[in-house]
Amino acid sequence: MRAVASRAFQLCTLLVTAAQDKALDRRSNTQRIRQNPSPSLTIKHWGERAEHSGLLSATQLQLMVARGRDPVSLLKTLPGVSQSTFAPWGAEQDSAAGAQTLQFRNQSLGGQFGTFTPNKASRKLTLTYGVRFSTFSPWLLRGRTTGSAVVLDRYDPRKAPVFFAPALNASGARVAKDPISGQLFPAVYIGGFVPGSGDLANGTVLSTDESYPDGFRERGALQAAPRVGFAYDLFGDGKTAIRGGYATTKQTALTSGNYLGNVVRNYPVLLQPQIFYGTMDTLLDSQGILFPTQAGTLERDPPTASVYSYSLGIQHQLGSNTVFDISYVGNVSRHLLQNRDLNTLAPGARFNPANFDPTTGRALADNTLRPIKGFSSVTYIDNSGTANYNSLQASINRRFTKGPQIGAAFTWSKSMGFTDGDAGGLPVYLPVQSWMYGKLGYDQTHMLSVNYIWDLPKVSTHWSNGFARRVLDDWQVTGITTLASGIPQGISYSTTDNADITGGGDEGFRRVNLVANPTIDNKSFDRWFNTAAFGRPAPGSFGNAAKDLFRGPGANNWDINVAKKIPIDEHRYFEIRSEFYNAFNHTHWLTVDNAARFDPAGNQVNTRFGQVISARPGRYIQLAARFFF
């Protein structure tokens, strides 16, 4: 087996001081180091003028590698750096040396490195294989600003603050009562914390606490992401090729907002007292009453989000200018970023007589019934999501030589998973796998795209005169046509009597009852699905419908461009273009009303339910003129 290209390595660093920094005054300081003979080593180093020091020079990197030291390990130890996270990498071809190098970018400090080698295993078979390694560290607050996170292992229910309770005074008026002293206060204090009771920092860890990891989570281990691919010339004539590949991708660029959004607003970093019955003159002297507020916490040692991609296909050349390709393409994603509210009320908590307000006969305030006393919601960020994509993809392309250039691509696919994006919400009490797993919001079963470029034949070749050459010659028609299935949608609901259906629990994930088949054969503007297929859930029920029950309207779009070139001489010409978006002004329905509304008897009373209520834009025409010289 003979290597046809030398292996190469590239390391890039891009330093910022923190996740919340503004754009820095960046100055490119790119240096290339070459070491020969092959295999070559190429190192690129981007420096920034920032509020810290410790940038490695190209010479230092050269000496470090020459002495066999790991540049990434050394870069981790640079002083003055607040956090280090790495972003996806790309490939770059070094034409001077014929070596393929890898380019890595990161939002702070760190690196990815790897080697990928194409090899001509035989006359018909070419293999490409390699591995990349990545490392990253958690986000840290700028300038070591104090933040906090909830750590349930350190939460002690006995230290939770005491709530002002509802009570009646001697005249029968509703008031707030301090359960410790028995003293009465205005009713607006109900649900607030009795001053001096409990520990507001109960269960929280400050970012300055050396007993807990920086960034409130452990630094991940070095991640290996292997890749392998092959191309096999089936008949040895260069016209039919079988191609396949597998790749592992690690999410090393973490979104800072998901990690730092709550830690600067948690107790005891931020207190938000409410002041009642005061005036502007007494404002500064008032202490106010604290109420439970939201908090956040992170999975301490999360697995790294990973995507495992694979494909297998065959390409065949038809004639001299046309290529046909059909492939199976898929991926599986594991350990995706999700969130859930750990302080969700227990299902039916508001139905329990023990939780009733003795002064009203109704349930007490939610925040007094939550399992983690002292907080409202407690958002937990973890890596527990999963998704997958599988597709059959076919395309045919005719290269431009003479006459029209045409390309068409068809995809038959399915995208499945828990949520559509990073940090999507998951329930706490409902079974995640059976309740949340289903078609994703961007799943489109069928998609056909056709593109074309056609230089119209010159009329002057058959009718040679000035009018034909100036007016009828040099016309071009281009366009893109897209036909696609609609996206999956579910059914939400409300009630006319504002009934409490669940009594607590995962209320944001409740669904209707499915009592019949929602699909109909003859969809129309007024009836897109079977509106009689849904019923009002019984009290204490979360419904039984799946998360996706019908598909919305698909796309049928034609964008066409007509251009005329007006030559002035051999090197200069005008071009006049007319661009038509949705050229035939085809009505593209977009949204279907999927919000059921039930009365106490269970009748669906939303008169628009199941009807199309919006459309995509109509035809747009854009005119342009350009002068080329």
Q: Domain count for the chain, please give it.
A: 1
**Nearest to 84, CA basis, from 143, 139, 132:** 139
- Measured at the CA of 316, the angle between CA 311 and CA 318, to 5 degrees, comes to 150
Report pLDDT digits (tens) over 311-335.
999 999 998 889 999 999 999 999 9
Does residue 268 have a cis bond before it (omega within 30 degrees)? yes
Residue length of the chain: 629
Q: What single-letter amino acid sits at 349? A: A
Confidence of residue 48 (pLDDT cuts 50, 70, 90): very low
Return d(Cα 540, Cα 348) in angstroms, integer.
Answer: 6
The model's pTM: 0.78
Q: What value does the mean pLDDT take over residues 265-274?
A: 85
pLDDT at 11 over 60: no
* pLDDT reported for residue 309: 97
**pLDDT at residue 145, as a whole number:** 66
The DSSP 8-state label assigned to residue 501 in this structure reads S
Torsion, CA 69, CA 73, CA 77, CA 83, rounded to 10: 150
Q: Which two tokens stand for residue 79?
A: 């002083």
Q: What is the pLDDT of residue 19?
A: 30
Q: How many CB atoms lie within 10 A of CB 161?
A: 20
pLDDT > 60? residue 610: yes
Percentage of the chain lying above the pLDDT 70 cut? 81
What is the H or E stretch that residue 61 is in?
A: helix 58-66
Question: Residue 108's domain spans which residues?
Answer: 2-137+219-254
Residue 349 lies in a domain: no
What confidence tier does 247 reach under pLDDT thresholds 50, 70, 90? Answer: very high
Furthest CA-CA distance within the chain: 108
Token pair belonging to 621: 């025409």
Res 460: pLDDT? 84
* Mean pLDDT (whole number) for 41-47: 29
Indicate left, alpha or beta for 536 from its phi (over 0: left) and psi (-120 to 50: alpha).
beta
Is residue 316 one of the residues assigned to a domain?
Answer: no
562 has pLDDT over 90: yes
- Amino acid in position 627: F
How many other CB atoms sit within 10 Å of the CB of residue 194? 22
φ/ψ of 215, rounded to 5, equals 75, 5
Distance of CA 211 to the CA centre of its chain: 32
Q: Flag whether 436 is in a domain.
A: no
Alpha-carbon span 164 to 176, nearest angstrom: 6
Q: What separation in angstroms does the CA of 460 have from each of 82, 469, 574?
A: 69, 6, 19
Q: Does residue 82 fall inside a structural domain?
A: yes
**Is 598 part of any domain?**
no
In this predicted model, what pLDDT tens digit does every residue of 180-203 receive, in sequence order? Answer: 999 999 999 999 999 999 998 899
| For range 9-29, the mean pLDDT | 29
Q: Using pLDDT thresholds of 50, 70 and 90, give the confidence band for residue 13.
A: very low
| Residue scoring higher pLDDT (599 or 118) | 599
> Stretch 492-508: mean pLDDT, rounded?
96
Q: Which residues pair with 592 in a beta bridge?
A: 612
Tell me which residue of 427, 424, 336 sits closest to 383, measured CA to CA: 336
Residue 164 has pLDDT above 90, yes or no: yes
Note whether residue 131 is domain-resident.
Answer: yes
Lowest mean pLDDT among 76-85, 428-437, 558-567: 76-85
Ramachandran angles phi, psi of 175, nearest 5°:
-140, 170
- Say if 372 falls within a structural domain: no
- If you average pLDDT over residues 113-117, what whole number do you get? 68
H/E stretch holding 257 = helix 256-260
N- to C-terminal Cα distance for the chain? 51
511 occurs within a structural domain: no
Residue 143: predicted pLDDT: 60
pLDDT above 80 for 49 = no
Q: Give the pairing type, strands 492-495 and 595-598.
A: parallel
Band (501; pLDDT cuts 50, 70, 90): very high
Cβ-count burial of 208 within 10 angstroms (0-12 exposed, 13-18 middle, 19+ buried)? exposed
- Residue 267: predicted pLDDT: 83
